[in-house]
Amino acid sequence: MSKIGEAKILRVDLTKGETKEETLAPEMVKKYLGGRGLASKLLADEIDPGIDALSPENRLIFANGLLTGTNASTGGRYMVVTKGPLTGTIASSNSGGYFGAELRFAGYDMIVFQGKSEKPVYLQLMDGKAELKDASHVWGKKVDETTDILVEESGDERAKVSCIGPAGENQVLFASIMNDKNRAAGRTGVGAVMGSKNLKALVVRGDKSNFDYDKESLMKVVKKQTQILKDDGVTGEGLPTYGTKVLDNIINETGGYPTRNFQEATFEGTEEISGEALVEKGYLQKKKACYACPIACGRDTKLPSGRSGEGPEYETGWSFGAACGVNDLNAITEANYMCNELGLDTISAGATIAAAMELYEKGHIDREKLNNGPELKFGSSEAIVYYTKAMAYREGIGDDLALGSARLGEKYGMPGVSMAVKKQELPAYDPRALQGMALNYATSNRGGCHVRGYLVSPEVLGVPEKLDPQDLDSKPEWAKTYQDLTALIDSIGVCLFTSFALNADDYCELVNAVTDYDLSTDEFMEIGDRIYTLERQFNLEAGLTKADDTLPKRLLEEGIPDGPMKGKVAHLDKMLPKYYELRGWDENGVPTADTLNKLGLEVL
């Protein structure tokens, strides 16, 4: 029986091949809620942040949010939390689909893996029984094949699977964990940690009647919020109709669409690869929703060749498109399908190929190094498809690409080629065009990332209000608020996209509906602050410093060469001191004793 507020954990010791149940203290749940918050606390308590992320000492935590599996709109999200191999920071990666809710129905809020199995295994959780089973027969197999085989083996076609593909097995530093075949805990290399533990998959089947919460109280709130989501122009019409790729033209027209590895900020081929093109070319088959989602932004697509799958989303369309100078939607979609099948983070995969293209064009990578592979030239459809496979299997130069752009740039003598923060590749918004995003990228606790405080919303989209993207004074406060709110959304188990229509009061109301916490919105927001500061402490303990809160030199010093934002650079130095101050961190970005005391945190 799973009950909200009493976090039930299944601890799996892969070295010993043993499983056991534990329950967390309710006070701890109240302090961190669930998902990202609670799992980060557990990780910080259990490991030395200085360890090698790919060593058996690391933990790999699958964590449901407080509301995962309830009827809350979009309440099906789960997080994977671990120390990340790409960044060396705390890593946490969020995914939707149906796996998280099924895990809740199976009776667990969290699964904590530790140690390393001698042989490939998978965890099967069926009818309340946890079992580690041999995975030799699926080791090496792609995500879709693995999923089909393990569902069949479970004997229940309703079982849900979360697994790694060959990229995770081969410990590609940005390998993803995939659930329901096409949903990704994509970023920060959580799949590589899973591979390092010889853990191939989790197969879960539960019973909804095992999950107890006040349905009546929650439904009153959910009814109201679902209506808000349906009435809102963004969540009710924009996202359902064109998916996330409707952003391509918006970001390109506003001059912040990173092109050819951030060498330019508008892409001449955008029209050919945009969300509109996905519809006009007939690739879009139907929209797709995750558990309990009224938005349905997912895209089921089919190529002229007959091959079908899910995607591309905005980020993927960009990383293999504009970032690589490719205007071929067919090849971009194919590369996306391959990432899903092989288990690769699409942002880092595409952006690393983009960095390799710049290295090749500037003479840092020789033709011979590519063996018989296609030339790494911007605009090459052939290259994005070929090197996506090469990096997953670590073939030829793919072995170097598998380390991400930062290590690639260092190896080939041009560190500045990497458009990354804390070694994780930046996503599809040029921070020179959006100063708030510049601050967010630099201070994201998991490295370069757009979903640790999506200031694109006020800076470009005008939601909840329109901010001047070049204004600096207001951004530290907005960044902190968005970062804290996102930490909360990731901890209660709903989708970040609801925040286009819902606000902190709404999320707080959801939490209060299923608990006896009776939180004010301020108290609720303080939990977000606590989570963010805890993650920060982990990173400082792992050896990161203020010097890591920065952006690639190109974005700080070289003005955008083209488009409406021509000449702009990122003014991080003008925002960072105020940001630290607002957070209660000292001038070196270290949380002060007063701040830790106020948030109820200890020195690690």
Partner 1 sequence: MAIKVKLYSLFRKYIDDRQVELDYEENKTIRDLIKSLDDKYDSVFSQKLIGEDEAINPGAIILVNGQNIHHLDKLDTELKDGDILAIFPPSAGG
> Which listed residue (243, 373, 436, 447) binds partner 1 by CB under 8 A?
243
447 binds partner 1 (CB under 8 A): no
52 binds partner 1 (CB under 8 A): no
Q: Is the Cβ of residue 24 or residue 449 nearer to partner 1 in the bound state?
A: 449
Peptide bond into 464 cis (omega under 30): yes
Which sign, positive or negative, has the C-alpha torsion 242, 243, 248, 253? positive
Q: Is the Cβ of residue 98 or residue 454 nearer to partner 1 in the bound state?
A: 454
> In the beta sheet, which residues pair with residue 204?
125, 160
Q: Is the Cβ of residue 461 or residue 519 nearer to partner 1 in the bound state?
A: 461
Q: Is the Cβ of residue 277 or residue 390 nearer to partner 1 in the bound state?
A: 277
DSSP string, 23-41: E--HHHHHHH-SHHHHHHH
464 binds partner 1 (CB under 8 A): yes
563 binds partner 1 (CB under 8 A): yes
CB 125 within 8 A of CB 156: no
Please choose, out of 207-215, 451-459, 473-481, 587-595, the segment that lies near partner 1 by the rule CB under 8 A: 451-459
Contact characters 87-106, partner 1, x per CB under 8 A? --------------------
522-556 residues labelled b (16+ CB within 10 A) or e (exposed): eebbbbbbbbbbbbbbbbbbbebeeebbbbbebbb
Q: Is the Cβ of residue 322 or residue 365 nearer to partner 1 in the bound state?
A: 322
DSSP string, 121-189: EEEEEETTEEEEEE-TTTTT--HHHHHHHHHHHHT-TT-EEEE--HHHHTT-TTB-EEETTTEEE-STT
CA separation for the pair 301, 523 (Å, rounded)? 43
Phi and psi at 92, nearest 5°, equal -145, 135
564 binds partner 1 (CB under 8 A): yes
450 binds partner 1 (CB under 8 A): yes
Phi and psi at 542, nearest 5°, equal -75, -5
Q: Is the Cβ of residue 469 or residue 591 nearer to partner 1 in the bound state?
A: 469
329 binds partner 1 (CB under 8 A): no
> Which listed residue (6, 144, 148, 253) binds partner 1 by CB under 8 A?
253
Write out the binding residues for partner 1, residues 291-310 only, by CB under 8 A.
Answer: 297
CA separation for the pair 484, 37 (Å, rounded)? 11
Of 559, 544, 542, the residue nearest 604 (C-alpha): 542
238 binds partner 1 (CB under 8 A): yes
Of 433, 421, 451, 427, the residue nearest 550 (C-alpha): 421
Please choose, out of 121-129, 458-466, 473-481, 483-491, the segment that lies near partner 1 by the rule CB under 8 A: 458-466
Q: How many residues bind partner 1 (CB under 8 A)?
A: 45
246 binds partner 1 (CB under 8 A): yes
Q: Is the Cβ of residue 283 or residue 500 nearer to partner 1 in the bound state?
A: 500
478 binds partner 1 (CB under 8 A): no
> Which listed residue (565, 572, 576, 599) binds partner 1 by CB under 8 A?
565
Please choose, out of 228-236, 387-395, 505-513, 579-587, the segment that lies near partner 1 by the rule CB under 8 A: 228-236
Sequence-distant (6+) residues with CB within 8 A of 574 are: 472
237 binds partner 1 (CB under 8 A): yes
Residue ranges that bind partner 1, judged by CB under 8 A: 232-235, 237-239, 241-247, 249-250, 253-255, 271, 275-276, 280, 297, 313-315, 450-451, 454, 457, 460-466, 468, 496-497, 500, 563-565
